[in-house]
Amino acid sequence: MGIPLQKPSLLTSEEYLSIERTAESKSEYYQGEIFAMAGASACHNLIVSNMVVEIGSQIKNKDYRIYSSDMRLNILKNGLYTYPDIMVTCGLEHFSDDNHLDTLLNPILIVEVLSQSTELYDRGNKFEMYRELDSLMEYVLVSQSKYHVEQFIRQDSGKWIFSEYKDKESTIQLLDLELNMIDIYKNVIQRGKE
């Protein structure tokens, strides 16, 4: 998380949502504080777009829905409000407010594209908070600067199994979908580092 925008007094989640719904830029909320979110690079945006297209093309006849980073997530067990790069739901969706339908509660898949400023958070505290989502089955981290995808899959026992993909010819199984590494990184790697 970045530097809090509001320090003197802690805000309620209702106050945060009131501010956030009219704000020009997105912010995270945790334990009464609002944290500005950094903008994304061209590589970051291309990876997210590529993955949304690839996943979207495979879910047309399935009960999945895909959301990119404009959909807010709330984790009820720890109070975090954040904007994952990609979320996928299956079946009945739950939102924190049926009037707004802008804060999702039950994704089954979350994808984060790593950047230098967020990598430690995405791997550490954020993943720890994401694991408190009972609905979450898979968590995926995608590098911007090289062919490298890391996947964590929750087992029935509650343990997480780790898989790693580094070969540009790899095929990654997300849920019951298949994504080719080359498609995830289309037009990205040649652009250079983050």
pLDDT at 118: 87
pLDDT at 194: 40
Phi, psi at residue 12, to the nearest 5°? -80, 165
Measured distance CA(155)–CA(80) in Å, rounded: 24
Measured distance CA(41)–CA(140) in Å, rounded: 19
Phi, psi at residue 18, to the nearest 5°? -65, -45
Is 95 within 8 Å of 73 (Cβ atoms)? no
Measured distance CA(120)–CA(40) in Å, rounded: 16
Q: Shortest CA distance to 185 belongs to which of 151, 152, 155, 143?
A: 143
**β-pairing, 103-104 with 72-75?**
parallel
Pick one of 3.90.1150.10, 3.90.1570.10, 3.10.580.10, 3.40.50.1820 as the CATH number of 40-191: 3.90.1570.10
Q: What is the pTM for the complete model shown?
A: 0.91
Distances (CA, A) of 123 to 41, 98, 134, 193: 19, 31, 19, 20
Q: Model confidence over 141-179: pLDDT tens digits?
A: 999 989 999 999 999 999 999 999 999 999 999 999 999
Look at the block and give the residue holding tokens 């945790």.
30
Q: Please, which pLDDT band fits residue 193 given cuts at 50, 70 and 90?
A: very low
Q: Model confidence over 45-65: pLDDT tens digits?
A: 999 999 999 999 999 889 999
Q: Is the dihedral of CA 79, 83, 85, 86 positive or negative?
A: positive
Measured distance CA(149)–CA(140) in Å, rounded: 7
Is 48 within 8 Å of 41 (Cβ atoms)? no
The residues spanned by each domain of the chain are 1-37, 40-191
Measured distance CA(138)–CA(129) in Å, rounded: 14
